[in-house]
Chain A
Amino acid sequence: MEEETVIGIDLGTTNSCVAVVDNGVPKVIPNRGGYRTTPSVVAIADSGRRMIGHVAKRQSIINAENTVYAAKRLIGRRWDTPEIKEAIETCPYHITEGPHQDVRIELRGKMYSLSEISSMILSEMKLIADQNLGYEVSKAVITVPAYFNDNQRQATKDAGRIAGLDVVRIINEPTAAALAYGYGKTINRKVAVFDLGGGTFDISVLEIGNGVFEVLATSGDTLLGGEDFDYRIIEWLVFAFLKEHEIDLRKDRMAFQRLKDAAEKAKCELSVAPQTEINLPFIISTGNNDALHLQKTLTRDIFNDLVSDLCERCIQICQKTLETARLDKGDLDDVILVGGQTRTPRIQEMCKEYFGLPPSRSVHPDEVVALGAAIQGAALLDERSEVLLLDVTPHNLGIMIAEGYFQTIIEKNTTVPTDQGKIFTTVRDNQTTVRIMVFQGDSNRAEENELLGEFLLSGLREAPRGQVEVEVTFEISADGIVSVSARDLETDVQQSITVTASSGLTEEEIRQMTEEAEEYAVGVKTSDAFSEAKAELEALLREIDDLVPQVETVISGSEFGQDALRKVSETVERARSAIETGDKAPVDDSKAAVERTLKMLRGVAQKLG
């Protein structure tokens, strides 16, 4: 039977789920054990046999070092990021550095990249679908947290390819949830999707109208999820134990794994019961044939206290997102809770409190994402489908400009596909090459953002700085593929890249490059706004220049006066170099300092009469 089917896979931090649209009805495909979700756990047995899902999870306590869970938290990240540092501390498996500053996991002496680990889970999901449908599926839509950056998305796509799947689209989890929520209904609504999963938190605001799903804004935190809630319980247990027995249970991998399981179980129980017993006999051996036991009672109140700051973080992100979407809480028609962690009563209460709406109960928090992915998959196959998803890019995209600043070219929350360009200029006299470094992120310092790729545009004509104009154009296709091109406006020399994978550069290297790259840096084209800012700053500087000689003789007499004069000249110098950059941002940055200086000088001059 040669039927073309696209499956939807929710590749979760703790659990994964696969779904398909069958005769217009989206449904979850259960695994061989009859479970509708499969743990995202991979393990390698003594024999070298791969274990995936429930099998892997069941043996995790006895084989903690060779069992990988929460791989999603590491995928697409660079080796030297703080997230990885923290994971090394807390994970029982061995995390090592790969050849390109990427992250590898060592299992029974073999190195696996995170895409490989994830591909094992994906191939298991594919297998579940194949067996259930009775034929081999080759196409899939995979979901990722909305706040994943391009590197993380690419790594996930790679995982799909390794698993033998044609990944027709990567879509955002909250968007998928909204698709499943609105599918088959003729509704016109604005909804918020609050997605608190195992490892990530996402919030998306969408408008649904006549089958069109328009994402208005999306935001999140890739390191805030159920795992963090579990870890709060683990810490609570560990510190209590440490106080009593002076033994740190985290040092023992097996004990830690048991703690982890117990914490997750306790958390789930607290969703229905006001308190729960945590009972771990023989948690650790003291050496002389004696063992210690752990027994504690966790109440909902204590738990709520332990995680109150995590909840607070979620709400703050919600607030920001609504602002970006230009919506009030009152504009929303519904709030959809997605992800297992939203079963926690505190989260539900908080959502109700914040949005002023009872959370929608029409979707299943564990399955809705996979269903949405399947719906999108089906819609992509059938051009007459009622469903159309208008998604946005979750981060600012731009390039590094002189002094290491980040210049946004495509703003976050722009609907894709889109292309946008800006004109830049050379920053050195006779500069014949510019280096275009493509970044993604929200900081105005390039180094704090994610590097996606870089290329050189050479062969520019020799001219004084600022005279050669280079147009940089960013393009995001409907598939989410980013391509960047740079063009010399005069000679039409052109260079471009399609961003495909992480180049694995470290922050340190980028910083170094920032310094070295001065030679090749590009500056933002002097715009009216810049000229204005420059003129303002220069006027201030002129006044300072006039005042300094008047004031100098008087205040240079004292030590603090000399200090002040030194600071004045430093400020002036910094401001001058900010003007030199030809970019508005540094000019604006230095203005406040200059104003303060001027105020000080004016004050002194006035006293002098």
Chain B
Amino acid sequence: MVSPTEPIPELLAGVDLTKANITVEDAFVASRIDGRSGVSQLATLIGKNVGETKTILTRLARAGIISFGNISAEQPKPKPAKPGAAGDYGSFIFPANLMMETCELDEPNRKRIIWTHEHLEGWNHYELLQVSHRAEASEIKKSYFMRSKEWHPDRFPRGNLGSFKRMIEVIYKQINEAYRVLSKPEKRKEYDETCVFEFSPEELDELMRAKKDEEREKRHKEQVRKRRLKNNPVRQRMLQAKKFYEEALDLESAGRTMDALRAVQMAVTYDSNRPEYQELATRLRDNAGEHRIQKYLRKGGKYEATLVWDDAIDMFEEAVRIAPNSGKARLRLAYNLLMGGRDAQVALGHAQRAVALLPEEAEAFYVLGRLYEKVSMDKLAKRAYEQALKFRPTYVEVKKRLKRLKWGI
């Protein structure tokens, strides 16, 4: 949609774009003007923002190629004719003082010098040497030799040349400069980059086509990239893993620890590089362990209460195997090993783990103390009992043991 305030650029009648002296980009924009689209539409069409598009349109309007709002064309400068068109100077007016000056030059020579000198600034290096801007090095050289024969100061009489002497030198120095630049590939390239050339219709066509091709290529590449991304197996697996992870989180908060564990394990299988998946899996595994050993703890508890140490030990050993990080299982196992008179060193190991896992459990310290006593490490035992009392000051059993230790009873 065109908003009512937006001026609609229109191509002026009778303008041949291929003859216009504008850059490729501007020409491209001009070629998109259809007399219906507004600035914003054109902007989308050419892939530029509105501001940039306006600048280009203004430039085109000033060049007298399109009408755009109230920007009118600058009075177009008449493009100077090609140099060397001998005898045909159009409506050019030759200054009388120069034509009358006393010097050794005839009228045609005077005219050609004045005319060329006057137009010198309007020509670029190629125009001055009278070659196409795509000319080969050899053509440029040949043309430079021809221009040299026309304009080298040695080609004029040696006598009095008046004001013309200076003009000839200026012209020839410019020719030399043009050749100096165009004869060296790197200098020529540099110059080409700063110089705007007129394009022939074929060239313009070719450039437009190239531009379109380039855009098509770009679009195509973008599509391919998207498609690849979509079908990328690694990405697929990552997405799958994420789904499982989210499911696991849901299941965990619903209290379904075992299902959550299964889900998160799937997530880790699909994507083993995400630390949060790993963390969740560890946490769930521990929780699930506690959950699964409950029945062993219960059974073991029963045996323990009836002093059937060996059966109790079997139960608690099973529990520790299933959930090695369960402090409670370790503590019970250590206690029963102690009471059942099993290897004190093994029991001590479990007790130490139990203390580490349950750092505020008085009973754990008590069992540890007992085991230290058993392996005759009284000092450590004493410290363990003291710890136990710290967490449960009314621990009668502990107090007794401590007293015995103190008095050696």
Contacts and interface: CB of A to CB of B under 8 A. Distances in A.
Interface of A: 168, 207, 209-212, 214, 326, 379-381, 383, 388-390, 414-419, 477-478
A218 to B, nearest CB: 16
Interface string B144-173: 011011001111111000000000010011
A418 B148 contact: no
18 contacts: A207-B141, A209-B142, A210-B145, A210-B146, A210-B149, A211-B149, A214-B145, A326-B184, A383-B156, A388-B149, A388-B152, A417-B169, A417-B172, A418-B173, A418-B176, A419-B173, A478-B153, A478-B169
A209 B141 contact: yes
Contacts of B141: 207, 209
Interface string B334-378: 000000000000000000000000000000000000000000000
B175 to A, nearest CB: 10
| Interface residue range, chain B | 20 to 34
B180 interface: yes
B206 interface: no
The 5 closest A-B pairs by CB, nearest first: A478-B153, A212-B145, A383-B155, A415-B176, A209-B145
B177 interface: yes
Contacts of B184: 326
B152 A414 contact: no
A388 B153 CA distance: 10
What secondary structure prevails in chain B residues at the interface with A? Answer: helix
Contact of A478 (B145, B152, B179): B152
Interface in B121-160: 141-142, 145-146, 148-149, 152-158
A211 B150 CA distance: 13
A449 to B, nearest CB: 23
Contact of B154 (A214, A379, A414): A379
Contacts of B158: 168, 380-381
B344 to A, nearest CB: 50
Nearest to A389: B154
B149 A478 contact: no
A381 B159 CA distance: 10
Contacts of B179: 415
A581 to B, nearest CB: 27
Contacts of B152: 388, 390, 478
A296 B218 CA distance: 85
Residue with the highest number of chain A CB atoms closer than 10 Å, among B148, B158, B180: B158
A211 B154 CA distance: 13
Interface string B293-314: 0000000000000000000000
B173 A380 contact: no
A416 to B, nearest CB: 8
A417 B148 contact: no
Given A212-B148, A383-B154, A414-B180, 9 more contacts: A209-B142, A209-B145, A210-B145, A381-B158, A418-B173, A418-B177, A477-B169, A478-B154, A478-B172
B269 to A, nearest CB: 44
B246 to A, nearest CB: 46
Contacts of A477: 153, 169
A478 B171 CA distance: 13
Contacts of A326: 184
Contacts of B142: 209
A79 to B, nearest CB: 36
Nearest to A390: B148
A91 B141 CA distance: 48
A359 B152 CA distance: 32
A210 B158 CA distance: 23
A45 to B, nearest CB: 40
Interface string B317-338: 0000000000000000000000
B210 to A, nearest CB: 31
A5 to B, nearest CB: 14
Contacts of B176: 415-418
Residue with the highest number of chain B CB atoms closer than 10 Å, among A210, A326, A383: A383
B155 A388 contact: yes
Residue with the highest number of chain A CB atoms closer than 10 Å, among B141, B152, B154, B180: B154
A217 to B, nearest CB: 13
Nearest to B169: A417
A415 B154 contact: no
B128 to A, nearest CB: 15
A388 B150 CA distance: 10
Nearest to A212: B145
B320 to A, nearest CB: 47
Contacts of A212: 145, 148-149
A381 B104 CA distance: 13
Contacts of A478: 152-154, 169, 172
A414 B181 CA distance: 11
Contacts of A379: 154
Contacts of B172: 417, 478
Residue with the highest number of chain A CB atoms closer than 10 Å, among B153, B157, B173: B173
Contacts of B146: 210
Given A417-B172, A417-B173, A380 B149 contact: no
A380 B180 contact: no
A419 B156 CA distance: 20
Contacts of B149: 210-212, 388
Nearest to A209: B145
Contacts of B177: 418
A125 to B, nearest CB: 22
A380 B154 contact: yes
B148 A383 contact: no
Nearest to B185: A326
Contacts of A210: 145-146, 149
B112 to A, nearest CB: 13
A379 B152 CA distance: 12
Contacts of A414: 180
Nearest to A379: B154
Nearest to A384: B155
Contacts of B148: 212, 388, 390
A477 B158 CA distance: 13
B153 A415 contact: no
A288 B158 CA distance: 68
Contacts of A388: 148-149, 152, 154-155
Contacts of A380: 154, 158
Contacts of A418: 173, 176-177, 180
B120 to A, nearest CB: 14
A211 B173 CA distance: 20
Contacts of A383: 154-157
Residue with the highest number of chain A CB atoms closer than 10 Å, among B145, B148, B149, B176: B145
Contacts of B157: 383
A380 B153 CA distance: 10
Contact of B180 (A207, A381, A415): A415
Residue with the highest number of chain A CB atoms closer than 10 Å, among B141, B152, B157: B152
Contacts of B153: 417, 477-478
A414 B142 CA distance: 18
A585 B99 CA distance: 50
A440 to B, nearest CB: 19
Residue with the highest number of chain A CB atoms closer than 10 Å, among B141, B142, B155: B155
A286 B141 CA distance: 68
A328 to B, nearest CB: 15
A400 B158 CA distance: 35
Nearest to B153: A478
A381 B149 CA distance: 15
A263 B253 CA distance: 114
Nearest to A168: B158
Interface in B244-295: none
A383 B169 CA distance: 15
A380 B154 CA distance: 6
A326 B173 CA distance: 22
